[in-house]
Amino acid sequence: MSTKPIFVATHPRACSTAFERVFMTRQDTLTCVHEPFGDAFYFGPERLSPRYEDDEKTREESGFANSTFKTIFERIEREGKEGKRLFIKDITHYLVPPNGKPATIAPSFGGQTVKKGVGTNGEINGVVNGHTNGLTNGYTNGQTNGLTKAPYPYDTAAEPGNPTVVPAEILKQFHFTFLIRHPRHSIPSYFRCTIPPLDEITGFYNFMPAEAGYDELRRVFDFLVKDKQVGPALAGKHDDLKNGEVSITVVDADDLLDDPEGIISAYCKEVGIDYTPDMLNWDTEDDHKRAKDAFEKWKGFHEDAINSTSLKPRDAAHVSLVLPYLPFPSILAYFLSSLCTCTLVMDREVRTILMPLPKKKKSKTVETEDKEWREKYGVEGAKVIRECVEANVPDYEYLKSFAIKV
């Protein structure tokens, strides 16, 4: 079983911070590192995002204007020397040039310098099949304002097949797992964080569909599988892993919300953590202070997770079965309890059985979703959301095919 630092690779608005809070309860064995790479992606001298390209003041005020990808890995390495296993959760597209652009290694790693245009074609840097999530309408590919002034593209070489700006030898130091959610849930949630009133808190004043993150997550996933950094064994479908081998472990957020205990315990088994039910509860003053301190950097994005106290299944629906009088209620109760958790309301004549059923989130029709989005975000906002959702569904469904089943 791998003992490497755990890296939960995800996309925005995938319930990932709630997932992280589960593992923040394990102070005895884990040190959690919350979304470190956004510092370099948005603000540093190797920044890949155009979001703050024309806003030097915000970059400086962030405190991360000097953060490179290398300095972040060095900080992670220092935290790993405290004797506990690291648990890192971060947005995968922070390591990948946006809009399907070819990747070359970040200069801070001291890689080979090349002339502009050399080593940057899509055949060798992770865009091996021309697969990106972009439409060409400006909405789904996001904004390109300021890219000509941005640090990227770097004057460095690419690594064959590697879609990130991080050397594969560094990626190999981590135990990668993956967390996803259907874009019909994540995209509207992200859109909401980029418009009034939340934009004043988040500092994200425009929606950039290139930040959806599914395309980058899929390409990084495929690279790690091809490079044998994860797999070929699937989570829950192997007898035993060879020393250091890592299973393909993908968690779908809706499965997590339906069955937290089942999904978390299965995940823990794959990453070598002893699961305890206490991991699903965090309601002490110390728990809340640690969460607030950890999540302070990305204001406005994590309020639900900060204010949460536990991870419980979605509310259960109940069905009532009324049975005729039976002389042996204890036998009936024993039989039913072997099938599900149930409550018996008994009198001399009948047995009323209240049986909780798992409450799965029902999928709304496209028409219903569009109507709700128009009401919340206006006609143009709903159009942008729908285009972005549809562009990312294929990547989600591909990754979903690998998801843990319990």
Q: Residue 211 has what pLDDT?
A: 97
pLDDT along the chain (406 residues), means of 10: 92 94 95 96 97 95 96 95 94 97 95 54 44 39 45 94 98 98 97 95 94 98 97 87 88 97 97 96 88 78 76 65 49 45 43 52 88 97 98 98 96
Token couple for 204: 């994200």
What's the burial of 375, exposed, middle or buried (CB within 10 Å: 0-12/13-18/19+)?
exposed
Question: What's this model's pTM, rounded to 2 decimal places?
Answer: 0.82
Q: Residue 129 has what pLDDT?
A: 40
**Contact (Cβ atoms closer than 8 angstroms) between residue 96 and residue 164:** yes
Q: Does domain 6-313+366-400 have CATH number 3.30.70?
A: no
Contacts of 76 (CB under 8 A, 6+ apart): 5, 33, 36, 86, 88
Q: Residue 119 has what pLDDT?
A: 40
366 alpha carbon, distance to own chain's centre: 24
Q: Residue 302 has what pLDDT?
A: 66
- Domain boundaries, given as residue ranges, for the chain: 6-313+366-400, 317-357
Q: Residue 115 has what pLDDT?
A: 54
Task: Report how far residue 71's alpha carbon sits from residue 69's, in angstroms, rounded to the nearest whole number.
Answer: 6
Q: Residue 238 has what pLDDT?
A: 83
